């Protein structure tokens, strides 16, 4: 099979599409014939060596790429309750795998896979971004939430999920993204160019109950949070300080079928959306990576084997 890997860790220009044996599922695992796999910023980071640099994974000769996948179960190991032919989405949440979802086949633990009837290209845009947003919102309480980077993958889902939960959402993004962010459900929009804390406190004078910092603004965004509020930090490395008794939760997502199933159901109910920006054949993966690296992509770029 063909699989996209990073060996030199120098970014998109050094990615390699290799021929490698089709992997076999062990006990508790499934093999998926990949129909579509989204490209995410974390894939760029891994290809550039940042995961090793930040100590998130050990150096190795080869890194597989791709977290999201949609496709069809092709084979199963013992103890698995899914059958070949089942359409699924899945999430490969281990950084250090030598083969991941940007390939023709991928093996995942069965708990990281959920059945779906959605179009696979659309479905492949859900797992990583939406599960991150879902788990971030589970880490907070209160009625008002500030979402930074609200036009991006994680931020957009955080807005939609927060509105579905009945929260009041203040969202920040670029000036050109206001219409999109409001369509996603934001109650209030703050331009990224504005003084964030001042603008938010004009809406909620005491400050918001919680911050989901998808854009990694850091302390500048935390100034918009009330004393004793909550800050969910979505990046590895040093986390912001606990100023004014604000609880800072550094989130590291984990794949699980319960959350993936919930997200599928929310899409089917129209509560959250799928966002496909563009599709590329697997052999043009480097082009997709370079496009993502330029920035400004709204939705996900999706690879088709």
Q: How far apart are CA 304 and CA 104, in angstroms?
A: 9
Please, is 284 exposed, middle or buried when counting C-beta atoms within 10 Å of its C-beta (0-12, 13-18, 19+)?
Answer: middle
- Strands 168-173 and 188-191, by their bridges, are parallel
Residue 37's H or E segment, with its range, is strand 29-39
Confidence of residue 222 (pLDDT cuts 50, 70, 90): very high
Q: What confidence tens digit (pLDDT) does each residue in 147-156 have?
A: 999 999 999 9
- pLDDT exceeds 90 at position 236: no
Task: Provide long-range contacts, Cβ within 8 A and 24+ apart, for 237-243.
Answer: 237/54, 243/219
| Residue, of 235 and 291, whose pLDDT is higher | 291
- Strands 113-115 and 105-109, by their bridges, are unpaired
pLDDT of residue 174: 96
- Domains (range + CATH), the chain: 2-126+274-304 (3.90.180.10), 129-250 (3.40.50.720)
With a pLDDT cut of 90, the percent of the chain lying above it is 97
Query: 3-state SS of the chain: helix, strand, coil percent to 5?
Result: 30, 30, 40
Token output for 45: 């980071």
Q: Which residues contact 209 (CB under 8 A, 6 or more apart)?
A: 140, 141, 142, 143, 144, 145, 225, 226, 229, 230
Q: What angle do CA 282, 284, 285 make, to 5 degrees?
A: 65
Nearest to 151 by CA among 133, 127, 178: 178
Q: Which of 17-26, 49-58, 129-138, 194-203 has the lowest mean pLDDT?
A: 49-58
Q: What confidence tens digit (pLDDT) does each residue in 14-66 have?
A: 999 999 999 999 999 999 999 999 999 999 999 999 999 988 899 999 999 99
Q: How far apart are CA 233 and CA 176, in angstroms?
A: 25
CA torsion 190-157-297-98 (nearest 10°) is: 140
Angle between helices 257-268 and 127-138 (to 10 degrees): 100
């Amino acid at each position: 099979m063909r699989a996209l890997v990073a060996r030199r860790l120098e970014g998109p220009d050094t990615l390699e599409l290799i021929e490698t044996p089709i992997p076999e599922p062990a006990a508790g695992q499934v093999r998926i014939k990949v129909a579509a796999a989204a490209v995410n910023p974390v894939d760029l980071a891994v290809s550039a060596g940042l995961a090793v640099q930040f100590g998130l994974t050990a150096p190795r000769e080869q890194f597989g790429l791709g977290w999201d996948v949609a496709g069809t179960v092709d084979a199963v190991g013992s103890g698995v309750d899914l059958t070949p032919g089942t359409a699924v989405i899945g999430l490969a949440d281990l950084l250090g795998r030598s083969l991941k979802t940007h390939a023709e086949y991928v093996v995942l633990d069965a708990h990281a896979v959920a059945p779906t009837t959605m179009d696979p290209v659309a479905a492949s845009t859900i797992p990583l971004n939406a599960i991150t947003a879902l788990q971030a919102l589970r880490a907070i309480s209160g009625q008002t939430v500030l979402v930074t980077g609200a036009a991006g993958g994680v931020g957009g889902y955080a807005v939609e999920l927060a509105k579905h939960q009945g929260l009041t959402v203040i969202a920040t993004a670029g000036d050109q993204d206001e219409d999109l962010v409001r369509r996603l459900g934001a109650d209030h929009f703050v331009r990224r160019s504005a003084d964030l804390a001042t603008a938010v406190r004009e809406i909620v004078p005491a400050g918001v109950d919680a911050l989901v910092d998808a854009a990694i603004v850091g302390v500048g965004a935390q100034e918009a949070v009330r004393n004793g509020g909550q800050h969910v930090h979505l990046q590895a490395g040093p986390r912001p300080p606990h100023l004014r008794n604000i609880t800072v939760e550094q989130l590291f997502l984990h794949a699980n079928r319960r959350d993936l199933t919930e997200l599928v159901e929310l899409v089917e109910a129209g509560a959250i959306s799928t966002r496909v920006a563009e599709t590329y054949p697997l052999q043009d993966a480097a082009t997709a990576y370079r496009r993502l690296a330029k920035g400004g992509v709204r939705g996900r770029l999706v690879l088709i084997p």
